[in-house]
Structure 1
């Protein structure tokens, strides 16, 4: 019998009232096996061994229990490295496909050398009728003036649980853009923690989600400002319908010494049914005076007048809901710097519509 671990994932950096039930999420997970990856790698990106455990110092959004699961599962890190001064325009593509009853776990290391650029696209797909649990941990080290665009597309079947864990350290002038699309899965846990260690380093995170049926999404995004004049932007936009559940934690943490830092987080949620559960907890932690931090959340339903107008034009309510949901996802999808990945998202959304 496989060893099981009682995990606390997606912890807030600072605990709030326990009765809110938002400080962290508890999971029970058995040890897992290393999953297969189909890799499309550009010539200038090098796959190397993590001999020196360079990524051990990178903490992640889902928390330390994710590292315990990886240790117990004996999973090795697969590292992809840029060449110094090389700006690669072709994307590194990592395709993850999961069969029924999968219990797969992978660790990806992205090592960006000074003044280099890389695009990484990771997509998670599965059989529609299957079930299982999958985990992916992505750790990033971005050296001076390096730039990374990381795209993660989750298109799993409704029987799958997904744990998607991200951690990054940015040195001086480094910039990381994260685009997360959560479109499937029974339960999805996403954690992303970025340490803006160097001066003028930047994090831009765009999150899009569509949660329906009785599925759930649990998120924890943290921007840790250490360097001067650092910038973070965390924006989430999504749709909830049926009996869906969503919890979004967004934290901007201004450490002492990060003078001139700016942080912004926002969420825009469209609720299509009264039976959904929507929870949002934005945090701004401040140990430095000379900073700017903003947060906000917009929660709305379809305007009754708009609904009436569209129905009077012969569009049924189901089609209206699908149209609004697709519009949210399309806005973020257009930011993906790869046409093939954009088409994959659009095809998945079309497939969802035909299954309804």
Structure 2
């Protein structure tokens, strides 16, 4: 797309440079502008799907929007070099693979997904590669009346990659949007996910699996906004941390006035494998309506000595016993992926990390 955006897109670059660069003090990360070339990725997926372009972006309207001054959102809007537009009115399955290469180690993808009334979609976005890449993804997702979306975000980038994601979801009456996040790679992993339940009986489920080892920095934020009666939501995170990794998990439930009889549940479970880990869980409940149910829970702890002892008494050494416990902690969410080969790859990653 751009051989050199410094030369051909000075106006866009000036807009981006006018914004404050992100600084996540809690996990000790300050973003630095690192790349000078953005080219169009040659291959997005194996499906015959419309590639995103500016005409489509201007055509599709959403009721809610991202923050205008967000650095990474603006970067994806101005300099996207890949992405897809899905407009589904039936029952369909999609698989998309995003992979950088030596010529272009920047993945800036902008994706719009529309699930029409009564449709059902199953979508996998798989980010992978052996070289170190900078990935910045932007998603806008809309589920119309009685539509169902199952969407899987798999991030298994190389060890020194950096990964950023911003997702906005709008769910209409009696629709259901299920999101699954698998953060297995990259030294930096940041996710900001915002769901809006706009009409009666809309439902959202968000599940997140993450692995932190070495000096990884993980900052995850999942927010669900209940704006109509009888809406339901679940936010659940499961992770394993070791070495000197740092993690923040924010689970936010918002009940607006008029969201009567709505139910929101948020929970996170973190397994800590040593003492040098920094792990913060920040559940937040904001309520402007009386007749609702909001629940949140968070737990973080070392390996259960009794479970470890039980497995070692049955012939497993300590490493094998720990691996079994890690697998059992993450398996309930990983097993939901409807792609056997991908599930196997994720289990192999866990095997390698904890061998």
Query: TM-score, normalised on structure 1?
Result: 0.85
1:190-269 matches, within 5 Å, as: 190-269=191-270
User: 1:9·1:62 contact (CA, 8 Å) conserved in 2?
Assistant: no
CA distance in 2, matches of 1:260, 1:87: 30
Query: How many Å apart are 1:192 and its aligned residue?
Result: 0.8
* Residues 216/70 of structure 1: CA separation in 2 closer, same or farther (3 Å cut): same
Aligned to 2:149: 148
Aligned to 1:160: 161
Residues 148-193 of structure 1: per-residue CA shift (max 9 Å, x gap): 0001111111110101221111111111000111111111001110
Higher relative contact order (CA 8 A, sep 6+): 1
CA distance in 2, matches of 1:262, 1:24: 35
1:307 correspondence with 2:313: no
User: 1:9·1:63 contact (CA, 8 Å) conserved in 2?
Assistant: no
User: 1:123·1:152 contact (CA, 8 Å) conserved in 2?
Assistant: yes
Query: How many Å apart are 1:217 and its aligned residue?
Result: 0.9
CA distance in 1, matches of 2:345, 2:199: 36
Aligned to 2:9: none
User: 2:208·2:238 contact (CA, 8 Å) conserved in 1?
Assistant: yes
Aligned to 1:113: 116
Aligned to 2:133: 132
Query: How many Å apart are 1:312 and its aligned residue?
Result: 4.1
User: 1:37·1:94 contact (CA, 8 Å) conserved in 2?
Assistant: no
The number of residues matched between the two structures is 336
1:78 correspondence with 2:92: no
User: 2:27·2:247 contact (CA, 8 Å) conserved in 1?
Assistant: no
For the residue of structure 1 that corresponds to 2:140, the secondary structure is: strand
Query: How many Å apart are 1:329 and its aligned residue?
Result: 2.5
Query: How many Å apart are 1:126 and its aligned residue?
Result: 1.3
Aligned to 1:27: 31
Aligned to 2:100: 98
User: 1:55·1:139 contact (CA, 8 Å) conserved in 2?
Assistant: no
Match of 1:53 among 59, 66, 70: 59
User: 2:323·2:351 contact (CA, 8 Å) conserved in 1?
Assistant: no
Provide structure 1 residue ranges, at least 5 long, that are not aligned to the other structure: 11-20
For the residue of structure 1 that corresponds to 2:200, the secondary structure is: coil
Please give the root-mean-square deviation of Cα atoms over the aligned residues, in Å.
Answer: 2.8
Structure 1 or 2: more strand by fraction: 1
CA distance in 1, matches of 2:82, 2:100: 19
